[in-house]
Amino acid sequence: MRLRVDGDTRLLVLTGAGVSAESGVPTFRDANGLWESHPIEQVATPEGFDADPRLVWRFYSERRRKAKTVHPNPGHLALAEADGRMGDRFLLVTQNVDGLHRRAGSRRLVEIHGSLFETRCSVCPRAPFPDEREYLGDPPPCEECRTRGRDGRLRPAVVWFGEVLDPARLSQISSFIDDARGQLVFLAVGTSGVVYPAAGLVVQARAAGGETWLVNAEAADNTRAFHHFVKGPSGKVLPELFEWA
């Protein structure tokens, strides 16, 4: 089964941890997944960070370290190629924080759960900044807060449970769907379909008249919401999926 792309098609892609599995990045909910070995409330909530910021930074420092040792796989590269061919008729939304899409060459990219390689302040609204360092001791203070007599601490610029997604990023996605006017194709790849709002994009795409595709190693929670389901590893499926008309 192939996904036909012609000169009018607008392609919105959503990726999850599965697209990076063949690069050696652990997914979240599979056996040996990241959430199997680390309680979510300790390492992926603002309350966990308040309770033990050293533990949280050790966890993210380790993820930073590992993410630097892996490489994009043919699935990432196929999406970067689609980006290059389609230009502004293409948008990639990823829940992944590993930076592999960018390293593969994707440019029209919205990282809705943030990035492992950015840091921000836990208190003040300063913009996230690029940061690859590993913090193993006390979390570093925010310099901008310090000059104002506050004691903000730096934290990973990833979205945690209980936090809202950046409204500017969400409206970029909604605008893409609205502007597609009958030419929308939505493709979800490597995601279990349980974390919202990403899991609801298929419903939004269908409401806009879009054709919807899922590429996943196993059935996802919301498989029935899609018109087409291609079961298999994305590193093998994606390079063969598109039929360029």
Q: Does 30 bind ligand OAD (CB under 6 A)?
A: yes
Active site (annotated) includes residue 38: no
Neighbours of 196 (CB within 10 A): 9
Please state the separation of Cα 11 from the chain's center in Å. 17
Query: What's the rounded Cα separation, in Å, for the pair 19 and 15?
Result: 6
User: Which tokens belong to 206?
Assistant: 């269908």
Residue 153 as a binder of ligand OAD (CB under 6 A): the answer is no
Nearest in space to 104 (alpha carbons), one of 84, 85, 126: 84
Given 220, 225, 230, 241, the residue binding ligand OAD (CB under 6 A) = 220
Q: Is 190 in the site for ligand OAD (CB under 6 A)?
A: yes
Of 38, 113, 227, 228, the catalytic one is 113
**Residue 212 exposed, middle or buried by CB count within 10 Å (0-12, 13-18, 19+):** buried
Q: Among 21, 100, 185, 230, indicate the residue that binds ligand OAD (CB under 6 A).
A: 21
Pick from 228, 221, 227, 232: nearest CA to 198: 221
- Taking the least distance from each CB to ligand OAD, the nearer of 44 and 180 is 44
- Under the binding rule (CB under 6 A), the answer on residue 195 touching ligand OAD is yes
Q: Which stretches of the chain bind ligand OAD, using CB under 6 A?
A: 16-18, 21-22, 27-30, 33, 44, 95, 113, 159, 190-192, 195, 216-218, 220, 233-234
| Catalytic machinery residues | 113
